């Protein structure tokens, strides 16, 4: 599968099928392999699935400098991948951190976004104390991977448990630089979203139920889907229901 080099960092990505491009970004500590259950359904319905490994994850490069890991760098990586596959515009989506980055992509590149697929995700924080609490959680994740190495993956949700990484160092730096929150950019953008949006959550993903309700209410015309008997990795826990919800949304939105 192909790679590209952006700003000195090699990024792994893969494409499947032909048709309307759909760029999917994995969650923290996961990889592009979490989307393998979506390849056949999406390509069979006439979409081109583009999946990739964020820097510090999977088969992408693990930069040594902490400053190489940020929201801005991730969004720029996503734009570079679309350029590499010749996609001027695409449906942009992802799970958890990948969903947050997808909304950040829209905030910075609305002209390149056909629609949004937001799975088991939060929009960040406007309240400084809530943001501080989240950052404690993110840095605690970094500390745990630093102390336990890749064995820590076994304690994660389904998408992390299936992931393969070269080392835990990238996950440590990604938690400190990409998982942490620094402003309310994404939250402030929600009322201005002008493309079709699906906000989906697993019914058992307690951390993100309220956030899903909030985003569905704030994004104009957003569609909400709750997948029964599914946790944080809703696409892995209940792939048939997940795929049906995504395809129904895409077709219904004319994408």
The number of beta carbons lying within 10 Å of the beta carbon of residue 148 is 13
**Looking at residue 24, what is its pLDDT?**
98
What string of H, E and C letters represents the secondary structure of 55-123?
A: CCCCCCCCCCCHHHCCHHHHHHHHHHHHHHCCCCCEEEEEECHHHHHHHHHHHHCHHHEEEEEEECCCC
The C-alpha atoms of residue 81 and residue 50 are separated, in whole angstroms, by 9
The HSE-up count of residue 46 (CA atoms within 13 Å, CB side) is 5
* Contact assessment for residue 5 and residue 51, using Cβ atoms and an 8 Å cutoff: no
**Looking at residue 72, what is its pLDDT?**
97
**Looking at residue 57, what is its pLDDT?**
98
CATH code of residue 160 = 3.40.50.1820
Q: Mean pLDDT for each consecutive 10-residue tract of the chain (255 residues)? A: 91 97 98 98 98 98 97 98 97 98 98 98 94 96 96 93 96 97 95 98 96 97 98 96 98 97
- Looking at the structure of the chain, the number of domains it has is 1
Domain housing 153: 3-252
Relative orientation angle of helices 97-108 and 71-84, to the nearest 10 degrees: 80
């Amino acid at each position: 599968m192909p790679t590209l080099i952006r700003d000195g960092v090699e990024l792994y990505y893969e494409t499947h099928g032909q048709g309307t491009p759909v760029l999917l970004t994995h969650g923290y500590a996961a990889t592009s392999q979490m989307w393998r259950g979506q390849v056949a359904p999406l390509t069979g319905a006439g979409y081109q699935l583009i999946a990739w490994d964020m820097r510090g994850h999977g088969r992408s490069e693990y930069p040594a400098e902490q400053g190489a890991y940020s929201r801005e760098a991730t969004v720029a990586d996503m734009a570079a991948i679309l350029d590499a596959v010749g996609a001027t515009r695409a449906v942009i989506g992802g799970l958890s951190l990948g969903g947050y980055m997808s909304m950040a992509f829209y905030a910075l590149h609305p002209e390149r976004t056909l629609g949004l697929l937001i799975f088991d995700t939060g929009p960040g924080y406007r309240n400084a104390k809530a943001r501080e609490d989240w950052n404690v959680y993110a840095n605690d994740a970094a500390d745990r991977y630093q102390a336990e190495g890749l064995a820590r993956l076994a304690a994660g949700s389904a998408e992390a448990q299936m992931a393969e990484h070269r080392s835990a160092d990238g996950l440590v730096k990604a938690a400190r630089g990409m998982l942490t929150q620094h402003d309310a950019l994404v939250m402030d953008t929600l009322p201005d979203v002008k493309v079709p949006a699906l906000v989906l959550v697993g019914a058992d993903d307690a951390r993100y139920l309220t956030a899903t309700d909030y985003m569905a209410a704030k994004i104009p015309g957003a569609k909400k889907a709750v997948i029964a008997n599914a946790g944080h990795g809703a696409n892995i826990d209940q792939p048939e229901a997940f795929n049906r919800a995504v395809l129904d949304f895409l077709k219904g939105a004319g994408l």
